[in-house]
Structure 1
Amino acid sequence: MTRPCVVLLPGLLCDAAVWREQCQALAFADCVVPSYGELASITAMARSVLEAAPAQRFSLAGHSMGGRVALEVVRLAPERVERLALLDTGMDPLAQGGAGEQERAKRMALLQVARAKGMRAMGREWARGMVHPSRLDTPLFEEILDMIERQTPAIFEAQINALLGRPDARPVLRALSCPTLLACGRQDAWSPLSRHEEMQALVPGSRLVAIEDSGHMSTMEQPEAVSRALLDWMKE
């Protein structure tokens, strides 16, 4: 019997470490965690995922920026996606006017820190808002900084540009017909649960799971809860 294929998409400045526990839980499947290199658009990232996927049809999960890439994969090739899981992510493009300019300025300021002081120093400043407050300055927080430090300012710049140019994914959500899971850390301050409730309302039949006692990095903060949700999703 052919093993199922699961493609797990990491978010901004993340790599396979963000999905390590879930790959172990999904050991019955062939799990693939792509790298985006220095690709600078969500569409280019999605095309690279489709080119690299080892199976014609696969289950697709994306965390944070990876969720936006996953939605673009579905837009480009819906026939290849058996089921979809979106974790701690969003659907809207860059806001118009002052809100959008503020987001751009904040991201570019972090890029300047990365260039001047290094990726870990930038991460120590940036990642404090990404985890549950109880996990600040813990071994898990240092593991997240290790992951950020494995990236480069050039990769950071490319991924910032991809996010600033992110497409509106609402039409993709409305058109979804495959089994769809939405999951979010209850205390995610970056991509709040309320946003995922809005996303769920656009996808009839989708399931929403709140990951308790977790910030934005749910796959690492509460790996067992996320893995349980994904195992249930794989049975749909």
Structure 2
Amino acid sequence: MSKSAPILLLPGLNASARLYAEQIPYLWRFGSVMVPDHTRDDTIAAIATRILADAPPRFALIGHSMGGYIAFEIMRQAAERVDRLALLDTSARSDTPEQTKSRLECIAMAEQGRLSELNDNVFPVIVHESRYDDMALRAICDAMSKDIGPAAYVRQHKAIVTRPDSRSTFAAIHCPTLVLVGDSDLLTPPDLAEEIAAEITAAQFTLIPTCGHLSTLEQPALVNTALANWLAA
């Protein structure tokens, strides 16, 4: 099996490399794998700039949720360095006023030391209903939150609140692109993924069944198959 360019995996909000626990060993057969730090800056542009400074000259890019927002910014800053692009459970749109209000409330709760309460509230929103009582999955989410910590969580949320609308970048994306989403994703619903796939030249759209927002953890085998097909394109 031929090797691809190095593969960069970008986690989402309040998520660490554990988000890709089932993908990292699988993807190593295609090329080296890196999970850049996305916790140290409070704007999407600054996060992308820091990642690009440490990244290989050319790479395949996979972004989940907030990682997708960062991936769009990397395409704005250095599209020529991206060999191929995968956008998982994400959106190209900026926040609605209602979303911004909710995020500001989350920031306030985190600053008050209430991150664990936030995690309790969010878990049923980010997973498929069949996973509400999945304590192993919940433990992974709690561990990722501890990996990130409240200060970095606040920085990430501030970056998301101020992110630009990325739909203007669609026409400039010409590399092989995978757009993937869980069929029951409540945070970034399938219609947002369909919008991205429809506007990017030759993008491949994949809908993952019985799956919420955490596709890489909820349906890892299906996600891995989709990623393998994308890397072979």
Q: With structure 2 as the length reference, what TM-score do the two structures score?
A: 0.94
Amino acid at match of 1:44: A
Amino acid at match of 1:48: R
Return the match for 1:124 from 108, 111, 120: 120
Return the match for 2:147 from 126, 131, 150: 150
State how many pairs are aligned: 230
Contact 1:57/1:81 (<8 A) preserved: yes
SS at match of 2:22: helix
> 2:178, 2:3 → 1: CA distance?
24
2:198 matched to 1:235?
A: no
Amino acid at match of 1:76: Q
Q: Per-residue deviation at 1:128?
A: 1.8
Correspondences of 1:68-217 after superposition (within 5 Å): 68-95=69-96, 100=97, 102-138=98-134, 139-217=136-214
Question: Which residue of the partner structure matches residue 12 of structure 2?
Answer: 11
Return closer, same or farther for 1:127/1:176 CA change in 2, 3 Å cut-off. Answer: same
> 2:101, 2:93 → 1: CA distance?
18
> 1:213, 1:92 → 2: CA distance?
25
Q: Per-residue deviation at 1:117?
A: 4.5
Amino acid at match of 2:187: W
Contact 2:39/2:153 (<8 A) preserved: no
SS at match of 2:180: strand
Identical-pair percentage: 34
Contact 1:120/1:149 (<8 A) preserved: no
SS at match of 1:82: strand
SS at match of 2:23: helix
Contact 2:180/2:193 (<8 A) preserved: yes
Question: Which residue of the partner structure matches residue 22 of structure 1?
Answer: 23
Amino acid at match of 1:142: A
Mind listing any 5+ residue stretches in structure 1 that lack a counterpart? none
Q: CA RMSD in A?
A: 1.5
Mind listing any 5+ residue stretches in structure 2 that lack a counterpart? none
> 1:76, 1:126 → 2: CA distance?
32
